[in-house]
Structure 1
Amino acid sequence: MFSEKDFIASNYSEINNATFQYSAPSNIALVKYWGKKENQIPANPSISFTLNNCKTITKLSVENKKSIINNSLENKISFDLFFEGKPKESFNPKIEKFLERILVYCPFLNDYHLTIHTENTFPHSSGIASSASGMAALAMNIMNLEKELSPSISDDYFYSKASFLARLGSGSACRSIKGEVVIWGNHKEVSNSSDLFGVEFSNIHSNFKNYQDTILLVDKGEKQVSSTVGHNLMHNHPYAEKRFEQAHENLSKIKDILSTGNISEFIKIVESEALTLHAMMMTSMPYFILMKPNTLEIINRIWKFRNETQIPVCFTLDAGANVHILYPENVKEEVLHFIKNELVDYCQNEQYICDQIGNGAKSI
C-alpha cells in the first residue's frame, strides 16, 4: 500500500523534449461519493463502472526550459492549453491549480514547458462530466513523463500515482485510470482500498461483463451547482453521517452483488443511491433540485417498462438531470428499441450516447 510520501518523485533524470498521448474515459458511480475533506479526500467510499466511449484524448508535449531561448519561465509552472485545436483560456485556471497542487509530488514539472492538446469524444457541453476523463488523461501523460525520467518505477506505482494525481484535479478522476470497476475510499472489507487513489475491483460475475450504459441527455447546459459547492453542502448537513454509513453498507452489498451476478439486487442499490444523492442536495442548505421534469418522466417510464417486460434495466444519475440507463448486453436490442420509441422525446434534441463498461486509460 502506497502512502502520500511514496509519491514524491526523486532521483529522476532530465530530457530535452518528449511527446505523450493518452485517452481516459469518464466513469459512472454506482455507490456515490458526495462530500469531501481537505485535499480531495472523500467523505465516503464509492464504486464505479469505468466507461469506454465517453473519453478525453490528451497529448502532452514537454520542452526542457534550458533549451528555450530567452527563457523567462524558470522556477514557475508554464503551459499552453489547446482544446479541440484552439486556445481555451477558460480552462487555464483549473489546469494551473492542478499543476500547482501536484508539484510537490512531481517537482520535475518545473523544468519543462508543457503544451497540452485535449479533446473529448463527446460534446463538451453535453452535460457529461469531462473533468474526470480530462484530469485522468492528463495525469497519465504526466506519469509517462515521470517514467521517462525514472524508468525503474513499477507498474503498480505508475497506476497508483496516476490515480492519486488525477484525484487532486477532480476527485472522481481517480476512478478513470483503470477498469472495469473501481473502488475509491477506505472500506473495511476491501483490503487494499485507499482514500488516496482508486483500486480496481476484479471479482466481477459474467452477468456484468460488457454492461451497457446509454446516457440520455436531458439537459446539456452548464451545471447548476459546481461539484465543489455540492460536496461542501455535506458539511453540517443534517443527514450527512447517516448517508456516509449508508454508503459503506451499500458498497459492501454491491461488492457481493457484482461477484455473485445478482442483477435484481444490483438494480435496487443503484437506483436507491441515485435518488439518495439527489435527496442530499434537496435537503441541504442552500437546497437544489437538479432533476428536470423530463428526468422524472424517464425514471417513471423505466420503472413501467421493467415491471411490464421483466427486462433488467435500471437508471442512475450524476449531480444533474441526465439519466444513465444501465442494462446487460444480452438485452441491448430490446432496451434500445424502448429508448428510441419512448424516451428520446424527453432528451434535449433527442440526443443520447451509447456506452458500456471499458478498461480505463490507454496510451495512443
Structure 2
Amino acid sequence: MLEQEFIPKSYPKTIDKGNVAWSSPSNIALVKYWGKKESQIPENPSISFTLNHCKTITSVSYSKKDDATEFSFDVFLDGEKKDSFKPKIETFFKRIEAYLPFLKDYHFKIETKNTFPHSSGIASSASGMSALALCLMSIESELVVVTSSAVERSFFYRKASFLARLGSGSACRSLEGDLIVWGTHDKIEGSSDLFGVKYPYAVHQNFKNYQDTILLVDKGEKQVSSTVGHNLMHGHPYAERRFKQAHENLSALKPIFESGNLEEFIKLVESEALTLHAMMMTSMPYFILMKPNTLEIINKIWDFRKQTNSKVCFTLDAGANVHVLYPENEKQAVLQFIKNELVDFCQNGHYICDQIGFGATKIDN
C-alpha cells in the first residue's frame, strides 16, 4: 500500500459540528525500534504487547469555521488548558493535512486525560497520538460515503495507524492488539513501515492474558528525549548490526509464540531491552537512561527466577522504568515478590498493574 491511497478524492458530505471520543492504550515493545528515517519510518521492525489499563481518553469537539487558511484548535489535559502542547499537535496536523484535508475547515477542542499519572514516567505519546488519530478518522468517516462495513473497518484502522505514526512512531502499535507488528519484515505477511498490523500467526495459550506490572523507578523528565536518541542512530557504529538483529529476533519469536517456549521468550525479550540501552550508551554523544534502582530491580528479578524457577522477566522502555512481564498463572506469586522486594526501588513506592489488551475503543457520547 502506498501513502497516496490514504489521500481522499473528495468529501461528498458536509457537517457543521460534532463531537467524538476514543480511548487508546499504550504499548510495550518486545523487539524494540530504535532509529528512524524520514517521515517516521522505522529503521527496523518491532513487535509489541498492547496494554489494557494504561490508556489515554481523548474527546474532540469540532465546529465549522469561515476562515480555512490555518489550523485552529485548543488543547486541554485533565480540564486544564495546555498551550504547551500546541506546537507538537500543530506539527502533527501539518504532517497529516494531505491525508485529512478537512483539518483547516474546523476549530477543534481537544480534551484529553490519562488513566495513569501524567508525571508517572510512562510515555503518553503512543496512547495520546493514537487516540487523537482515531478521533480525526471518526470525523472523516462522517464526511465520506461508506460502501462496505468490513472494508471500511480495515481501512479505518490502517489509515488511523498510519496517521498516528506521523505523530509518534510507536503510536501506530496502539490501535489494536494483542500483538502488533510495525515495520516491514520478510517473514510476516502484511507487515509495513507505514502502519502497524496485528500479528497474523498462531500464539500459544501461555501468552494469553500476559501480565505487565510497571515499576515507576523515575518519574522525572528524561535527560535525552526519544527523538534525539533515535537520531543518534544515524552514523552509530553498531547501527546496521542492530537493525539486522531486530529482524533476526522477530523471526525467532514466531516459533516461540507458536510453541509457548517461555524460557526462549525470556532470553529474547531481556536481550532486546538491554540492547536498546546499549545503543544509547554507545552513541555519540553517549547517555544512560537507566538508574541505579533499575539495575537493582533487574538483579532481583534474576535472583528470584533462579530461586523459584519462575517465568517472570523484564523489559525496558526508553527510560528508567521496568516492565515486569509474567504469565497469568504466576500473578499472585509475582505480585507478592514485587511487594516484598521491588517496591522499595520504585519512586514513592509507585507501580502500575496492567496486562495485555486488545486495542482502542470508541466512546459513545
TM-score band by shorter chain is: over 0.9
Q: Does the CA-based 8 Å contact 2:50-2:176 persist in structure 1? A: yes
Matches within 5 A, 1:1-364: 2-12=1-11, 13-66=13-66, 73-152=67-146, 154-202=152-200, 203-364=202-363
Please give the TM-score of this superposition, normalised by the length of structure 1: 0.97
Question: 2: distance between equivalents of 1:239 and 1:146?
Answer: 43
What secondary structure, in the 3-state scheme, does the structure 1 residue paired with 2:84 have?
Answer: helix
Shift of 1:201: 0.8
Amino acid at match of 1:94: K
Within 1, Cα distance between the matches of 2:123 and 2:185? 25
CA distance in 2: counterparts of 1:176 and 1:256, whole angstroms: 24
> Could you tell me how far apart the structure 2 residues matched to 1:9 and 1:118 are?
27
Separation of aligned partners in 1, 2:120 and 2:145 = 39
* C-alpha distance in structure 1 between counterparts of 2:248 and 2:54, whole Å: 29
1:213-255 CA-partner distances (Å, limit 9, x unpaired): 0000000001221111000010000000000000000001113
Q: Which amino acid aligns with 2:138?
A: N
Q: 1:148 to 1:199 in 2, by over 3 A?
A: same
The residue type equivalent to 2:83 in the other structure is E
Supply the distance in 2 between the matched residues of 1:9 and 1:216 (Cα, whole angstroms): 43
Residues in 1 aligned to 2:8 and 2:124: alpha-carbon distance in whole angstroms: 28
Contact 2:32/2:246, CA 8 A, preserved across alignment: yes
1:69 match:
none
Deviation at 1:262, TM superposition (A): 1.0
Matched to 1:171, the amino acid is: G
Q: Name the count of aligned residue pairs.
A: 357
Shift of 1:151: 3.5
Would you say the 8 A contact 2:35–2:232 is kept in 1?
yes
| Structure 1 residue 75, shift from structure 2 partner | 1.5
Aligned-residue CA RMSD (Å) = 0.9
Instruction: Out of 151-160 and 230-239, give the one that drifted further.
Output: 151-160
Distance in 2 separating the partners of 1:101 and 1:205: 39
**Deviation of residue 155 (structure 1)?**
0.9
For each residue in 1:78-135, what CA deviation from the matched residue of structure 2 results, as whole angstroms up to 9, or x when unmatched? 1111110010011110011101110010001111111100000001111101000000
Distance in 1 (alpha carbons) for counterparts of 2:51 and 2:145: 30
Q: Give the whole-Å Cα distance in 1 for the aligned partners of 2:111 and 2:247.
A: 38
Report deviation, 1:10: 2.3
- Structure 1 residue 357: deviation in Å? 0.2
Give distance in 2, aligned partners of 1:259 and 1:110: 47
- For structure 1, the 5+ residue unaligned runs are 67-72
Paired residue type of 2:104: N
Post-superposition shift, 1:265? 0.6
Contact 2:74/2:83, CA 8 A, preserved across alignment? no
Q: What SS class does the counterpart of residue 148 from structure 1 fall into?
A: helix
Please give the secondary structure, in 2, of the residue aligned with 1:20.
strand
Cα-to-partner distance string for 1:243-299 (whole Å, 9 max, x where unaligned): 000000000111321222111111000000000000000000000111111000000
Q: What is the CA distance between 1:204 and its match in structure 2?
A: 1.8
* Secondary structure in 1 matching 2:227: helix
Distance (Å, rounded) in 1 between the aligned partners of 2:360 and 2:10: 26
Structure 2 unaligned residues grouped into runs of 5+: none
Partner of 2:102, secondary structure, is helix
Percent identity of the aligned residues? 68
Instruction: Give 4+ residue runs of structure 1 displaced > 2 Å after superposition.
Output: none
Query: 3-state SS of the aligned residue for 1:15?
Result: coil
Letter in 2 for 1:91: F
Distance 1:107 1:324 in 2: 39
Task: Give CA-to-partner distance per residue, 1:140-176, whole Å, 9 cap, x none.
Answer: 0011011111132611110000000000000000000
Of stretches 253-262 and 111-120 in structure 1, the one that deviates more from structure 2 is 253-262
CA distance in structure 1 between the aligned counterparts of 2:6 and 2:184, rounded to whole angstroms:
18
